[in-house]
Structure 1
Amino acid sequence: MKATVSEPESWKRIIDIEVPEQEINSAFEKKLNDLKRNLKLPGFRAGKIPPALIKQRFGSSIRAEVIEELIQKYFKDACEQNNINPVSLPQVKNLKADEGEALTFSIETEVDPEIDIKDYNKLKIKTQPEEITESHIEESLKNLRERFAEFKDAGRPAQKGDYVKLEYLKVIIDGQERNDISFPKYPVELGAQNRIEDFDEGIFGHSVDETIDLKIKFPDDYADTQVAGKDGEFQIKILSVQQKVLPEINEEFLQKMGNFKSESDLREHIKQSLEQEALNRAKEEAYNQAIDTLIENNPFDVPPTRIEQAIDFYYNQTMQYQIPNAPAPSRDEIAEKFRDVALRAVKRQRIIDFIADKEKIKPTPEEVDNEIRRLAEMYNHPFEQLKQQFRKNGTTLRIREDIMERKTLDYLIGEYTPEKKD
């Protein structure tokens, strides 16, 4: 085999390969003999079919299989000999496979270009977490009380912020009566975000058991595309009007929150949690600043396949969380929207991998076990059982990669120092 490699782009390799005719013939004869041993034809005993007859009937398909197998074999050999690690499917071009001549072909493939990230250890980026004030604590405490709120009959006409339960007696959309539209069986908050303002305002001031006639126009960007932008007429009956009552901060509430002894203990716990969240946000901002600085100061190419793979990921994520009946974006629309994001994501990962390799940053067994133990406690699962499960399904590998990435990013912002080993 003769193989020559050219590099028209930093991310592209073209391998020109020539396979001698003798090797093609040898592979052909071997496959022919293998077929002869197992082939069954009427009028012939197994293994006794004349080779000339087999060639006549199956020669073309045998040769095609031989050519395909030789292409795969010598592409793999050429990659190993030239230290090429393809990241895309190979494209065969300029194939010449005439009988009596050598097999010649070219293969184009994409690779990750070699990179050399400079001055990554000279970044002067520090985390600057937001200061947590009493207003932050008050807001968080209110949210906790909201989670344990009770709903009680208002005993008055409905107003903004109330939770109402309705029955649709008649629904007309664009002049046609509809029987397939029903109000949610659970109470909804009047005046809440994403509610149709005209609909809710028509309910304000009305009480339980009242029947109301409403006329509205659905917004053009309404989630249900079947009614978006259309006129609607509703005859509804109010079944209940409830108001949300927040619990008092008393001994019972403190026990529900974690068996705190006093309100001040709960507030201190909230403060510590908010400070940790603020620190996490600040670190994420510092991580992004570090990566953006290195991307700007160390330009390098990215193979198109890597970008398309990242776009595929964003597209699949978008479709997974697509709202029912909402217009679904096409893959091309996602590509246009996320191409720059995808490019940055690929460069980010390459930079992290480069620095981790250069600085020999790896997760320790203790760090991996600690993360699995944290997840085991979170999901109330036996540690050893979860550890074995993760090892079998590949989750342990992802945990190792996540820890390596976090330690590398911490290193970039000066919050981790790798151990130097001889």
Structure 2
Amino acid sequence: MQVSIQPTGTLGRSITITLPADEVAPKLKAEYEKIRQNARMAGFRKGKVPMDVIEKTYKPQVEADLAEKLIQESYFDAIGKEDIDPVTHPEITDFKYHDDGSFSYDAAVETRPIFDLGEYKGIQLETPLITISDEEVAAEIEKLRHELAALQDAGDRPAVEGDVVLIDFQGYFKGNPIKQIKNNDFSLELGSGKLEAELEKKLVGLKKGEETRHEIDYPETNPNPFLQGKKIEFRINLKEVKQRLLPEVDDEFAKDVSDTFNTLDDLKFSIRERRMKDRLNQSEGALIDKIMQTLLERHDFEVPKRLVDFEVRQMVKETEDRLKRLGVTPETAGLDLKQFAENSQPMAEKRVRGDFILKKIADVEEIKVDDADMERGFKRIGDQYKMSVKEVKEFFKSRDDLLPLMNELLNEKILNFLKEAAVVTTAATASEASAEPPAPAEASTTAPGDTPAEDDK
């Protein structure tokens, strides 16, 4: 086997692999012989068709099938022999059989970038002192009061902000109705922002049975194609006005929120606990972002273009999936996917470079994913999708693809290692630092943002 390598840029390699005739010929003969044993042709008994007839008839099929086998058998031997470390699948081109009986093909790959690992321990991190105030808890309770409020007809009084109204509306362009801008029995809380703010304001002060009209000039950049660059007249009929009857904030209210609460204090504790968990998770995410930002600032090297392109495609797919879950298409959301892909290139490159940095740290520090990590990953997925660990394992077994999960768990272990090796200081937020006087301990829940409980991570 002969191997010729030509650099194509910093990381690209064009590899030409040639297999000699004395290696190819016996395999070709064996392939033809297998076909001959079962071949049936007019005028010949089974297994007795002349070899020259077999070769003439089946040559394209045999050479194509054997080429695939020869490439699979020789590619990894070749890159091992030449000490090439590819990080992308080979692009196989120009494979052919030569007149001298040899076989050759070209394989284009991109190799792992070589870079010196800079300092990664002792990264300076700052995390806020997290405080859940009485005001936050009260605001959450007020929100729950509105959700549980009963609705009562407001009678003949004008609608005010906070009322729930029922409307019919129709959009007109140059006096002609637009069928796509129409809704009957549309329920709306005034001030919620569910409808255009200008239209909601026009409804305030109206009484049941009254109508109003209002024109809005929409820019060309509006994501709705039926509104782009048009002056639309809205005609609205107010059909009902209902006011909310807010419940008293007491133990019975807490029980109405959930049967897991017996008292109002139980509800308040739950609100504090949930908000604390959310803040800790946010703080944790901010620490990880700062670690990655610091690592990227300290390591600047070229990364394989095909990996960046793959990451861009993943980012586009994630965005499309997110819009699909919201019931929105890229077009109606005003998203140009081609432009989005171009704009995503810098972030994709950072992600790829960051992954190379993390993996090199893992090699140096001998950080690996073990069975306990995998069990933790299976359990987390099970909790997320309401599946048993056994069901999660069976799912991955059916797909035969654990690499994405293993990579995710490995990166988590590396980042946890870096966080533990960092220098973390706790600082109060500006609002907390200026608060006069500081809230008493019983009025708030406080915890350093860098020390979440294991369950909150």
Rounded to whole Å, the distance in 2 between the matches of 1:93 and 1:397 is: 28
Instruction: Tell me if structure 2 keeps the 8 A contact 1:36–1:49.
Output: yes
- Structure 1 gap ranges (5+): 417-422
Identical amino acids, percent of aligned pairs: 23
User: By how many angstroms is 1:250 displaced?
Assistant: 1.0
Rounded to whole Å, the distance in 1 between the matches of 2:93 and 2:310 is: 23
Which residue in the other structure is 2:297 paired with?
A: 296
Segment drifting more, 174-183 vs 389-398: 389-398
For residues 375-414 of structure 1, what are the structure 2 equivalents within 5 Å? 383=388, 385-386=390-391, 388-389=393-394, 392=397, 401-414=407-420
The structure with the largest strand share of the pair is 2
Which residue in the other structure is 1:359 paired with?
A: 365
Segment drifting more, 127-136 vs 281-290: 127-136
Which residue in the other structure is 1:77 paired with?
A: 77
For residues 191-210 of structure 1, what are the structure 2 equivalents within 5 Å? 191-193=191-193, 195-210=195-210
* Letter in structure 2 aligned against 1:412: L
Which residue in the other structure is 1:420 paired with?
A: none
Rounded to whole Å, the distance in 1 between the matches of 2:348 and 2:183 is: 41
* Aligned counterpart in structure 1 of residue 350 of structure 2, from 340, 344, 349: 344
Which residue in the other structure is 2:121 paired with?
A: 121
Rounded to whole Å, the distance in 2 between the matches of 1:396 and 1:41 is: 48
User: By how many angstroms is 1:387 displaced?
Assistant: 5.2
Matched, 1:18 2:18: yes
* TM-score, normalisation: structure 2: 0.77
Instruction: Call closer, same or farther: CA 1:198–1:123 in 2, change over 3 Å.
Output: closer
User: By how many angstroms is 1:71 displaced?
Assistant: 3.2
Rounded to whole Å, the distance in 2 between the matches of 1:384 and 1:330 is: 40
- Structure 2 gap ranges (5+): 423-457
Instruction: Tell me if structure 2 keeps the 8 A contact 1:295–1:347.
Output: yes
Rounded to whole Å, the distance in 2 between the matches of 1:14 and 1:147 is: 64
1:363-417 CA deviation, whole Å, 9 max, x = no partner?
6655655665566667766x4554554554669876665444333222212279x
Instruction: Tell me if structure 2 keeps the 8 A contact 1:171–1:178.
Output: yes
Instruction: Call closer, same or farther: CA 1:354–1:190 in 2, change over 3 Å.
Output: same
Instruction: Tell me if structure 2 keeps the 8 A contact 1:199–1:216.
Output: no
Which residue in the other structure is 1:51 paired with?
A: 51
Instruction: Tell me if structure 2 keeps the 8 A contact 1:37–1:46.
Output: yes
Q: Secondary structure at the match of 2:108?
A: strand
* TM-score, normalisation: structure 1: 0.82
Q: Secondary structure at the match of 1:108?
A: strand
Segment drifting more, 333-342 vs 244-253: 244-253
Rounded to whole Å, the distance in 1 between the matches of 2:10 and 2:228 is: 50
Which residue in the other structure is 2:152 paired with?
A: 152
Aligned residues: 414
| Aligned alpha-carbon RMSD (Å) | 3.4
Instruction: Call closer, same or farther: CA 1:260–1:95 in 2, change over 3 Å.
Output: closer
* Higher relative contact order, structure no. (Cα contacts within 8 Å, ≥ 6 residues apart): 2
User: By how many angstroms is 1:205 displaced?
Assistant: 2.0
User: By how many angstroms is 1:166 displaced?
Assistant: 1.5
Rounded to whole Å, the distance in 2 between the matches of 1:55 and 1:364 is: 53
User: By how many angstroms is 1:315 displaced?
Assistant: 0.7
User: By how many angstroms is 1:272 displaced?
Assistant: 3.5
Which residue in the other structure is 1:333 paired with?
A: 339
